[in-house]
Amino acid sequence: MEPPEPTVFIVDDDEAVRDSLEILCRSVGLKGETYASATAYLEAHDPDRAGCLVLDIRMPGMSGLQLQKRLEELGSPPPIIFITGHGDVPMAVGAIQRGAVDFIQKPFRDQDLLDRNQQALELDVERRRELHKRRELERRLERLTAREREVLDLVVAGNPNKVVAGELGLSQRTVEIHRSHVMEKMEVESLAELVRLVT
């Protein structure tokens, strides 16, 4: 799967700060998208879009930290870099504990932000890969019947067919048939591959 071009989502209530960050992104070949408020971003938020968030903490209406919480609730938090003009160190600790990539004070050196940005985008790619893997796994698992599922669990646990047959009260032949169906539906060629997929 070709990774989509990532976007840097810039959320800050100050127009000049937004604009300058967008130009900075452009200067290093990144795509920047600006939002004047947390609510504006939420309305446009699309979990399928790759990228990271550069987020101001203090904004009228919903604050940056509140947005972070909300995105977590929605189950699709992109990596966040907080920027702040206030020097809120106690807030910083909380934000990072809740999974922010970093917390940078204004005015900042562009290299610092860009480094963190790079880190965040890589994190996002990683996260999406994981997500994709999991979804794929679920999709395949759904193909299995209940019985096939049982066979899968026992086989992946390392039990030979004979033991599986005994556990499930089936003939060894039946177990072999189930096993080959499982392999097919899970789109794997070997036991090793199956184990790798499921764990």
Partner 1 sequence: MQQEDLDWRARFEALLDAAVDAIVVIDEAGRIQSFSRAAERIFGYSQSEVVGEPIEILMPSPYREEHAGYLTSYLTGAPPKIIGIGREVVGQRKDGSTFPLHLSVGEVSSSGKRSFVGILRDVSNQKKMEQEQLQLHEEAQLNRERLAHAGRLQILGEMAAGIAHEINQPLSAISTYAQAAGRLLQSGESETGEQLEILEKIAVQAQRAGEVIRRMRALAAEGETSRQIVDINDVVGEVLELAEIDARAHEYILKADLAPSLPAILADRIQIQQVVLNLVHNAIEAMLDGDGAGDVILIRSGPDDEGRVEVCVIDQGVGLAKEDEDRVFDPFFSTKQSGLGIGLSISQSIIQAHGGEMGFRRNQGPGMTFFFNLPTAEESTVGAS
21 lies in the site for partner 1, by CB under 8 A? yes
Residue 79 tokens, joined: 């990596």
CA triple 170-175-181, angle to 5 deg:
140
140 lies in the site for partner 1, by CB under 8 A? no
- Part in contact with partner 1 (CB under 8 A); list of ranges 17-25, 73-81, 119-127, 173-181: 17-25
Site for partner 1 (CB under 8 A): which residue of 4, 5, 23, 180? 23
Binding positions for partner 1, 73-132, rule CB under 8 A: 85-86, 106-110
> Rounded to the nearest whole angstrom, what is the least distance from the CB of residue 10 to partner 1 in the complex?
11
C-alpha torsion angle, residues 48, 54, 60, 63 (rounded to 10) = 70
- Part in contact with partner 1 (CB under 8 A); list of ranges 21-29, 40-48, 119-127, 190-198: 21-29
Cβ atoms of 56 and 9 within 8 Å: the answer is: no
Binding positions for partner 1, 42-61, rule CB under 8 A: 58-60
63 lies in the site for partner 1, by CB under 8 A? yes
CA distances to 13, 65, 104, 173, 199 from 34, in Å: 10, 18, 18, 62, 39
153 lies in the site for partner 1, by CB under 8 A? no
Residue 134, phi then psi, degrees to nearest 5: -65, -45
Site for partner 1 (CB under 8 A): which residue of 27, 145, 171, 180? 27
CB-wise, 20 or 159, nearer to partner 1? 20
CB-wise, 37 or 76, nearer to partner 1? 37
At 99, the amino acid letter reads: G
Q: How many residues bind partner 1 (CB under 8 A)?
A: 22
* Selection from 17, 16, 95, 81 nearest residue 51 by Cα: 81
H/E run at residue 155: helix 146-156
**Dihedral sign from CA coordinates of 171, 142, 125, 59:** negative
Residue 167 tokens, joined: 């556990």
CB-wise, 27 or 180, nearer to partner 1? 27
Q: How far apart are CA 141 and CA 166, in angstroms?
A: 23
Which parts of this chain interact with partner 1 (CB under 8 A)? 14, 16-17, 19-21, 23-24, 26-28, 58-60, 63, 85-86, 106-110
